Amino acid sequence: MPMESEGENVVTLVKGLGGQVCQICSDKVGTTVSGEPFVACDVCAFPVCRPCYEYERKDGNQSCPQCKTRYKRLKGSPAVHGDREEDVDADGVNDLTYSSENQNEKPKSAQRMLGWHMNNRQGDNNMATNYDKEVSLSHIPYLTNGREVSGEFSAASPDRSSMGSLGIGGKSNVRVVDPGREFGSPGIGNIAWKERVDGWKMKHDKNVVPMSAGQAQSEGREGGDIDASTDVLVDESLLNDEARQPLSRKVPISSSRINPYRMVIVMRLVILGIFFHYRITNPVSNAFALWLLSVICEIWFAISWILDQFPKWAPINRETYLDRLALRYDHEGEPSQLAAIDIFVSTVDPMKEPPLVTANTVLSILAVDYPVDKVSCYVSDDGAAMLTFEALSETAEFAKLWVPFCKKYNIEPRAPEFYFALKIDYLKDKIHPSFVKDRRAMKREYEEFKVRVNALVAKAQKVPEEGWIMQDGTPWPGNNIRDHPGMIQIFLGQSGGLDSMGNELPRLVYVSREKRPGFQHHKKAGAMNALVRVSAVLTNGPFLLNLDCDHYINNSKALREAMCFMMDPNLGKYVCYVQFPQRFDGIDKNDRYANRNTVFFDINLRGLDGIQGPVYVGTGCVFNRTALYGYEPPHKPKNKKTGLSSCFGRTQKKSSKSSKKGSDKKKSNKHVDPTVPIFSLEDIEEGVEGAGFDDEKSLLMSRMDLEKRFGQSTVFVESTLMENGGVPSFADPDTLLKEAIHVISCGYEDKTEWGSEIGWIYGSVTEDILTGFKMHARGWRSIYCMPKRPAFKGSAPINLSDRLNQVLRWALGSIEILFSRHCPIWYGYGGRLKWLERFAYVNTTIYPVTSIPLLVYCTLPAVCLLTGKFIIPQITNLASIWFISLFLLIFATGILEMRWSGVGIDEWWRNEQFWVIGGVSSHLFAVFQGLLKVLAGIDTNFTVTSKASDEDGDFAELYMFKWTTLLIPPTTLLIINLVGVVAGISSAINSGYQSWGPSSGSCSSRFG
């Protein structure tokens, strides 16, 4: 009889399962009352004992750890919340008690159990080996001396999967398991899972479930939770496990601080409307022209205020959890699963950007607290200066001493110039007996290093007639900075130069792109795009960090802070970049020229972080390489609202449909190896479909389409298709070097989408604003990260002339965007840019135009005093109330803004002062220069801001006067208003007390 033979097989199978061990607590799985093996999950038969099954149903996820299928209620198990009626009948008969017409399910369950057991017993050695084959790390040879360059893939990719073992019959119902997402790290028996088991036992002993910060915010919600840190639908069950909790969270501003602020904004808007109603309905007939000009200016100021104010409606703070990041991706004694990061440092002129400043930035990067095999530093020398090349060579040698010293004693900051300049007790928290001796020796080594670099700088002051000659006697290829080939030199790398302790150092690469006459090189944006391509060919880290040459890493854990957002399984796939605030050294205490930009960095950007994210400010930013390649983010799942419709089964119906679609998608993904490109070039040529991915990258493209988009480089195009990073395994050293030189050639970007849709966007000297805007328009969001210890620090011009020239360049870039096709007023309406985010970008581009009404408005009172005509008629008592209310609300807005942001009143006032100074000087010149460029095609030269250190004493440059044409408008305004005040006072004295009212009003407005 067939049924009897199957029953005999079941007995045999049960006997073979006698040694089955629970994969959670390591106890024996045991059997049921009837003597059959206990099977908790009838889908994959993952071995779990009865106590662990009961605890999982009561306090855990209520689902199988392997296939994530919800546990059914078995015979003798108490009912828990969420059990469905069909899971168990009234008599408590469970799924292991089979009806006569479904007897074949019993042997199948046992077969699955045995199949799991055999595949895991097939040798405990086999399991790890098979998994490693699925996520094998590809290596490429190093470019020099036969050493190797790591091309490993990040284990944090959400697309990495492992397949369950097949059962006896060759078929399996086992679901695809994503260990990186569902268990926190590869493999089921990992440390994250053990931590979860320990947590279960502790909770069982205490009979309480500890609540995390993330859970506290989601308390009271049903089903899924929009986690406060991610904006993404998160299952509450995920919050039961420390290793699977979010890596960051939002911290909203206290309601006692933000609500009064919002109320004042609304009141100010209402009073503003009443004010304009009075101004428009009460013209001044004897000074109509002056009245009309003043009303137009006031309307423009109101529009500008609205664009600036409302993006600050919902500011937020953020917290990161570095311990959770380490628990998930950085297990002690195992290879780190943190993603690789390529770091870009850009420099042009070593005379304005001293090599010692660049060297300190590079040294801080090489000593960063991050796995050395995951860090690659690329230095772009866009001036092709031999001085920069030789200084970088000296830096690489000194790094062999500096990096182990930093990591041994955990010093901060890790830029030697700023570490040794600290005026603090450097012995605090230092317990190692050899620290003082080693510090003195290291300081001596650094001073000798500075002397060598200074000698190179002195030598470079006078260029030989025959040009620079390298040590091997050959001419320096960059003697002509406008006509030279591309140059790449790898100074440090894996096994390519060990430090003094015998440990490997991060990779250090010098890059100078090719330049030829007749080609448009696009200044800094072009240099950054060249670095994107070179890094993709050589290392291809999935994330990028760009720094100016004067911005060193002040917080050695800055990269880990960024990875808390980028590698978060819920949030990371939607984030295009993580922006850090700019902080500065060497600024005088009073900051008289508002160099710190505190209002912008501590108020405006925190407000934008509550909408779609901060704008990109040009440095201190960690990018998602995929976002730079012009791809769109995945669509976020919408939170399903529960209501009356759920009572009638509508929600359940939609859920079933969505689950069906999800299952179809899983089926299509089932046989795809996630460690290789989504589609290879060979498949593209042959038109082979069936890659099985639904996102944008899975669209079948021909080779011509790829080359039109990315350029004619097989190696580079292949690297763009590897979502986990790493480089093509088939490439040899010669191929990589040739491709790296090829992708920085002058003509590589011709007829491609570089600069228009890919990489840093061309068309403005402020390429940062434009690049971030394009990403936000595609639907990406950015993150603003403000760790307690500033992540990066840089230098700022403290001289008024240098400061005004810096502001001029920023304003000119905004005007270029305003008159381009990328203007946020009309660009990107078909995308996913939020309205308040658009307001912020519009304000970022039109703010220089405010200089025209500002100049007019600053001139009007003086004209009134000189002519005796006034722009405001004699006001009534009611009108005076509205005027006074408006002024009070303006001050109240500023005070409450300082209250929630923590910005000091002195910083806020300095910002307001310099806004007027810059508005009537740099912004005004930027408007006219932008109009000349658009209408007459007259371009302006890009001026590099001087980053020279203060070697002549504390703030010597602050008191140095440098005349510039930018000072003409404010100086003229000052003279006109002084003349107006004198004329007004004289007129009041001669005319009697009747004219003192309007005269004193105009005079006070001048001093205000």
Q: Any known ligand binding at 15? A: no
Task: Say whether 802 is catalytic.
Answer: no
Q: Any known ligand binding at 382? A: yes
Give the integer Cα–Cα distance in Å for 854 and 297.
7
Consecutive H or E run containing 177 = none
Which of the residues 382, 550, 602, 802 is marked catalytic? 382
CB of 783 within 8 A of CB of 575? yes
- C-alpha angle 319-321-325 in degrees, rounded to nearest 5: 140
Q: Any known ligand binding at 515? A: no
Give the integer Cα–Cα distance in Å for 150 and 494.
7
| CB neighbourhood size of 73 (10 A) | 18
CB of 528 within 8 A of CB of 760? yes
Burial of residue 348 (number of CB atoms within 10 Å: 0-12, 13-18, 19+): buried
**Local structure of residue 262 (DSSP, 8 states):** H
Give the integer Cα–Cα distance in Å for 250 and 230.
8
Task: Say whether 382 is catalytic.
Answer: yes
**Considering only CA atoms, which of 76, 94, 99, 98 is closest in space to residue 84?**
94
| CB neighbourhood size of 560 (10 A) | 22
Give the integer Cα–Cα distance in Å for 762 and 519.
14
DSSP of 776-800 = HHTT-EEEE---SS-SEEEE---SH
Q: Any known ligand binding at 524? A: yes
Give the integer Cα–Cα distance in Å for 421 and 917.
33
| CB neighbourhood size of 51 (10 A) | 14
Asked whether the bond before 413 is cis by omega within 30 degrees of 0, the reply is yes
The upper half-sphere exposure of residue 149, i.e. CA atoms within 13 Å in the direction of its Cβ, equals: 33
Residue linked to tokens 């028996």: 189
| CB neighbourhood size of 480 (10 A) | 12
Sorted by sequence, the CB contacts under 8 Å of residue 132 that are 6+ apart come out as none
Q: Any known ligand binding at 353? A: yes
Structure tokens at 937: 């095609």
- C-alpha angle 838-842-845 in degrees, rounded to nearest 5: 140
**Considering only CA atoms, which of 766, 746, 756, 754 is closest in space to residue 942?**
766
CB of 727 within 8 A of CB of 140? yes
Residue linked to tokens 């703070």: 317
Structure tokens at 1: 């009889």
Structure tokens at 751: 């007829």
Binding positions are 346, 352-353, 382, 523-524, 548
Binding positions for Mn(2+) are 524, 548
Active site residues: 382, 768
